[in-house]
């Protein structure tokens, strides 16, 4: 059953604004991706869907296959696990909209490279090009700061990097929406 997140949000008094730049946050299985895709389906712009996941195991291959099966065939899908800023610049044009799905998977890919210089260069590049983009953009990202402090060092590092990057992006976008239990809540609106 597909939930009409926009109707739910409007009934709850949440303003639905398709602004130039939006960050959609939520936990795992919160409904954030469905909400982002519904915004795209209601848009008249040409969609560039940037998928950041890599199919490194069978479970991830199945997740990717499920996502692919649910997307409209007229959306351009670009698979890019590392060079996000370069990809955004390459495909950037007015009258288009990007969906970056998702920032936290992208950060995971960069962290797994074990190359801090590359990782921070890529993070900075996205932050720096954001104001220059002509296309509209929706970022989807996990809100990683609501749980307990992770036990192991790499998980704590991941939470620190992802949390800080989400904060940077949130400061420089027009809208921030937090999705919890399938319900979108506007945190910031232009």
Q: What is the pLDDT of residues 137-182, one digit of tens each?
A: 999 999 998 888 889 999 999 999 999 999 999 999 999 999 999 9
- 3-class secondary structure, 140: strand
**How far apart, in whole angstroms, are the C-alpha atoms of residue 108 and residue 82?**
10
**What pLDDT is stored for residue 15 in this prediction?**
44
The residue ranges of every structural domain in the chain are 5-188
Mark whether 172 is an active-site residue.
Answer: no
Tens of pLDDT, residue by residue over 55-93, are 889 998 998 888 888 889 999 999 999 999 999 999 999
**What pLDDT is stored for residue 165 in this prediction?**
98
**How far apart, in whole angstroms, are the C-alpha atoms of residue 34 and residue 9?**
13
Report field, pTM of the whole predicted structure over 0.85: yes
CA angle 12, 178, 47 (to 5 degrees): 100
**How far apart, in whole angstroms, are the C-alpha atoms of residue 32 and residue 184?**
8
52 and 100 Cβ atoms separated by less than 8 Å: yes
Give the residue, 96 or 11, on which the prediction is more confident.
96
Q: Which CATH superfamily is domain 5-188 in?
A: P-loop containing nucleotide triphosphate hydrolases (3.40.50.300)
Single out the catalytic residue among 67, 90, 127, 185.
67
Place of tokens 């620190």: 160
């Amino acid at each position: 059953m597909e939930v009409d997140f926009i109707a739910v949000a409007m009934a709850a008094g949440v303003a639905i604004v398709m602004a130039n730049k939006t960050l959609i946050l939520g936990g795992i299985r919160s409904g954030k991706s469905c909400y982002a895709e519904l915004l795209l389906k209601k848009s008249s712009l040409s969609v560039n869907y940037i998928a950041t996941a890599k199919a490194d195991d069978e479970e991830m291959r199945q997740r990717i296959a499920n996502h692919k099966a649910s997307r409209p065939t007229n959306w351009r899908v670009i698979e890019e696990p590392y060079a996000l800023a370069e990809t955004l610049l390459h495909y950037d044009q007015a009258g288009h909209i990007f969906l970056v799905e998702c920032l936290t998977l992208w950060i995971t890919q960069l962290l797994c490279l074990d190359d801090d210089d590359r990782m921070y260069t890529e993070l900075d590049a996205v932050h720096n090009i954001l104001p220059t983009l002509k296309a509209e953009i929706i970022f989807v990202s996990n809100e990683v700061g609501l749980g307990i402090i992770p036990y192991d060092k790499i998980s704590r590092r991941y939470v620190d990097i992802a949390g800080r990057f989400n904060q940077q992006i949130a400061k420089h976008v027009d809208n921030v929406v937090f999705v919890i239990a399938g319900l979108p809540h506007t945190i910031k609106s232009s």
